């Protein structure tokens, strides 16, 4: 027997057993699990705080996403405004019946004026249609734009009142009441409706959503977003509203700057658009028989109609080029 070979095999087996013992003993004996549990108990506050922060962040992200989704749904609903909503946005207290009476009056007046001016029954009938459908809608649109402009100009001042009131320790509802009693129109009326809605039990975020329905502008939309997110996620409301006020003022400043820069282009467009009408009027005053061929002959009528169509297209294109949305 070769004792040297046996000794070598025995030493190799002992060495392999020692290595296996060193590698697997902590796992088999539970030492690794014990060390892991000791670390968990050594820093439970940090681990749990991190987990809580992550859960809160996930909840905040979900709440913000839900708020933005609700605002998007309100925006889609605003684009389908009914007649009553459009009347309310214009700042009028008309009913549907009163609106139709106004449309009938404007229809009759417009039809009679165009009939007396042209002596043509077809043109008088067209005047009836324009007076019934076009004039009332144009009147509502004009009043709505003016009211939205006044609201946009006064709204940052109302936000500043809220910011100063919150910083001085007043509750938000008291700040809203101050605006409802002392602000300029139409901000005063809109905030009075918010206060009255809260008195009837409506939540502040829902009342702000109603404000956006009555005043469909970016400022009211931003206000609703800020209140909805702040109520669900918390934060410094005074600082957030101060930032919103600054953003609204910067938007207005940019809008005024663009209006000033584009004024030359608007003047040029007005001159170019009115030039054919002015020239035709001057030619008619100096040589009426020369220009009467445009509406006395069929060829002239076709040319006149084609010219009006192309002039209308040109005016609309120029208006689109010099119009900017901020």
**pLDDT tier at 324 (50, 70, 90 boundaries)?**
low
Q: Is the pLDDT of residue 30 over 60?
A: no
In this prediction, residue 225 carries a pLDDT of 83
Taking residues 262-271, report their average pLDDT: 79
Look up the pTM and report it: 0.61
In this prediction, residue 292 carries a pLDDT of 82
DSSP code at position 322: T
Of 261, 266, 150, 276, the closest CA to residue 215 belongs to 150
pLDDT, averaged across the chain: 78
In this prediction, residue 241 carries a pLDDT of 86
Distance CA 142, CA 125 (A): 25
How do residues 158-208 score in pLDDT, each as one tens digit?
A: 888 988 888 888 888 888 889 888 888 888 888 898 888 888 888 888 888
Of the chain, the end-to-end C-alpha distance in Å amounts to 100
Burial class (CB in 10 A: 0-12, 13-18, 19+), 241: buried
Taking residues 45-73, report their average pLDDT: 62
DSSP code at position 91: T
Higher confidence at residue 10 or residue 314? 314
In this prediction, residue 26 carries a pLDDT of 54
How do residues 201-253 score in pLDDT, each as one tens digit?
A: 888 888 888 888 888 888 888 888 888 887 777 778 888 888 888 888 888 88
Of 131, 138, 143, 166, the closest CA to residue 245 belongs to 166
Of the chain, the percentage scoring pLDDT greater than 70 comes to 74
Ranges 3-17, 19-33, 84-98, 177-191: which has the least confidence: 19-33
Q: Is the pLDDT of residue 21 over 60?
A: no
Collect contacts of 242-250 with beta carbons under 8 A, ≥24 apart: 242/159, 242/160, 242/163, 244/159, 245/156, 245/159, 245/160, 245/163, 247/222, 248/152, 248/155, 248/156, 248/159, 248/219, 248/222, 249/156
In this prediction, residue 245 carries a pLDDT of 87
Task: For Cα atoms 134, 137, 142, give the angle at the middle one, nearest 5 degrees.
Answer: 115
Distance CA 49, CA 205 (A): 31
In this prediction, residue 133 carries a pLDDT of 85
Q: Is the pLDDT of residue 44 over 60?
A: no
Q: Is the pLDDT of residue 154 over 80?
A: yes
In this prediction, residue 17 carries a pLDDT of 63
CA distances, 129 to each of 64, 100, 111, 140, 176 (Å): 48, 13, 8, 17, 45
Q: Are 252 and 222 in contact (CB under 8 A)?
A: no
Taking residues 121-135, report their average pLDDT: 84
Residue matched to tokens 């120029």: 318
CA distances, 287 to each of 275, 280, 291 (Å): 18, 10, 7
What b/e string do you get for 76-102 counting C-beta neighbours within 10 Å, with b at 16 or more?
Answer: eeeeeeeeeebbbbbbbebeeeebeeb
In this prediction, residue 259 carries a pLDDT of 79
């Amino acid at each position: 027997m070769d004792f040297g070979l046996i000794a070598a095999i025995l030493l190799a087996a002992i060495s392999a057993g020692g290595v296996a013992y060193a590698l697997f003993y902590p796992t088999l004996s539970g030492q690794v699990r014990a060390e892991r549990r000791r670390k968990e108990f050594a820093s439970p506050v940090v681990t749990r705080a991190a987990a809580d922060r992550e859960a809160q962040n996930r909840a905040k992200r979900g709440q913000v996403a839900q708020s933005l989704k609700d605002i998007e749904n309100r925006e889609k609903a605003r684009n389908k405004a009914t007649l009553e909503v459009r009347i309310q946005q214009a700042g009028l207290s008309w009913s549907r019946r009163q609106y139709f009476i106004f449309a009938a009056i404007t229809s009759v007046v417009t039809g009679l004026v165009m009939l007396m001016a042209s002596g043509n029954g077809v043109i008088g009938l067209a005047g009836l249609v324009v007076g019934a459908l076009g004039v009332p809608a144009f009147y509502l649109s004009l009043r709505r734009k003016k009211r939205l402009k006044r609201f946009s100009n006064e709204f940052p001042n109302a936000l500043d009142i809220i910011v100063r009131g919150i910083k001085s320790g007043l509750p938000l509802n008291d700040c809203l009441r101050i605006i409802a009693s002392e602000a300029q129109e139409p901000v005063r009326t809109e905030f009075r409706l918010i206060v009255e809605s809260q008195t009837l039990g409506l939540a502040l975020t829902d009342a702000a959503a109603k404000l956006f329905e009555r005043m469909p502008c970016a400022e009211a939309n931003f206000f609703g977003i800020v209140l909805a997110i702040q109520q669900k996620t918390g934060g410094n409301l005074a600082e957030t509203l101060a930032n919103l006020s600054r953003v609204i003022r910067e938007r207005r400043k940019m809008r005024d700057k663009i209006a000033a820069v584009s004024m030359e282009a608007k003047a040029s467009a007005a001159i170019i658009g009115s030039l054919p009408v002015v020239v035709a009027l001057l030619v008619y005053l100096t040589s009426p028989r020369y220009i009467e061929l445009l509406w006395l002959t069929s060829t002239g009528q076709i040319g006149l109609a084609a010219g009006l169509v192309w002039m209308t297209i040109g005016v609309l294109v120029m208006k689109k080029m010099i119009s900017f949305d901020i």
